[in-house]
Amino acid sequence: MSSKLLGPVAALLILLPSPGRAEETNPTKPSAPAPAAPAASAATSAPVLLALTNAVALVPPSGGWLLPDDAEKAYDELDKANRVPPAPAEWNTTPPTEEQRKEFRKSLSVAAGQAADKAKEFALRFPSHRNAKFANSIHRELLKAAIQLGAENRIAELEALGPEEANPVLSPAPSAFQLKMQAAVAKAQSMQSKGLEGVLDTFEAELRLIRKEYPDEQAVYSAMMEIVRLGTPKRARPLVEEILQATNAHPVLRLQAKMAKSRFERLDKPFDLEFTALDGRKVKVSDLRGKVVLLDFWATWCPPCVASVPELIALHKRLQPQGLEIVGISADEDQGELKSFVKRAGMSWPQYFDPAGRESRMLEDLGIVQYPTMWLVDRKGILRDLDAHPDTAKKIEALLAEK
């Protein structure tokens, strides 16, 4: 399974079934593939069949291609599709019901299936691209993920790829390190009755033991960054420092840790931000002192972001008379698409836009790597919350009540 699609903590909280409910995440096992043709026949016909298959596949489907014609833009689309939507932030404080878990797994299954389709298309249409081999390799893994999450209608497609042993990307037996990581996840999952903090306490303790035995394994640091993402600032700060001080940590992980530290250093301090909004309005957060400001970091390509829009509109309408202001910081790259969505949805607050999208200097400076992210600035202009999504209304009302 792609590490981008489901990290260890995501698997821990979503994929692993509740006790006695294993059937929910274990769809019917695919039947055995048909017997292979005789070796001589297969060797003779394979090049012809491959050429025929490619010739047919390169004809655009009736609904058109899923990816742009430009290879770099197409890969960007695939990269976006290969990112798992985060679990609802309120699950951090309120454990989800079985029905909620089922619905979220269903949405992940759809996302994995769509990403699989894009990976297959990219490898086919751009075979000489530097990432074509990667796209081809994750096609099978994304199909597996979709099936594991409940998409039994994709089983036949996975079977058609042939036995795993015949695929260029093999799935070797788990290493001793991988088995220890799996055991750590299982042990932490057994603490779900103690809530997210209990799960993370156990997982962090297990990771520290594993790191002593495998100090050079990057997956340990990746898992630590998952805890940073899910945990409170109090929990996350020392983990961030450990990653920054680890000279053998991958540069990408060190960059993520640096960005996380940038966020934490802004907390409980005066905050300001200045830009010209999408509609031409001049925005300066420090000019809004006396108001409570919700900073919404989002994008139209982010399903959880889009899902939160109706709630934000309702909050804005209800609490603006009491002093709430919302400032949107978009990670979109298509200005026209963003304008269209904002108008259609009725989002009346100002929106920041940079065609660089997630790569914009502002988002990098603020250390934003997850969407949606919501920050709260109090009436005195102090940044008070880096994770305002759980109980957003209550948090805003509490700050509005302060004088």
Task: Summarize pLDDT for 34-44 with one digit per residue, the tens.
Answer: 333 333 333 33
Task: Summarize pLDDT for 329-373 with one digit per residue, the tens.
Answer: 999 999 999 999 999 999 999 999 999 998 899 998 898 878 889
Does 290 score more than 50 pLDDT?
A: yes
For all residues of the chain together, what is the average pLDDT?
79
pLDDT range class, residue 155, cuts 50, 70, 90: confident
Token duo for residue 34 = 């048909």
What percent of the chain stands above pLDDT 70?
78
Q: Is 403:390 a contact under the CB 8 Å cutoff? A: no
Instruction: From 285, 292, 270, 302, select the one nearest 373 (Cα to Cα).
Output: 302
pLDDT for the residue numbered 187: 85
- List, in sequence order, every residue forming a beta bridge with 326; answer none if it has no partner: 294
pLDDT for the residue numbered 387: 87
pLDDT for the residue numbered 142: 86
Say how far apart CA 332 and CA 352 lie, in whole Å.
10
Architecture of domain 274-401: 3-Layer(aba) Sandwich (3.40)
pLDDT range class, residue 93, cuts 50, 70, 90: low
Does 4 score more than 60 pLDDT?
A: no
Does 50 score more than 80 pLDDT?
A: no
Does 160 score more than 80 pLDDT?
A: no
- Domain ranges for the chain, please list them: 8-166, 176-266, 274-401
C-alpha separations of 178 from 69, 141, 216, 232, 315 in Å: 39, 17, 13, 27, 45
Out of 4-13, 242-251, 351-360, pick the least confident: 4-13
- For the segment 173-186, the average pLDDT, to the nearest whole number, is 83
Say how far apart CA 245 and CA 224 lie, in whole Å.
13
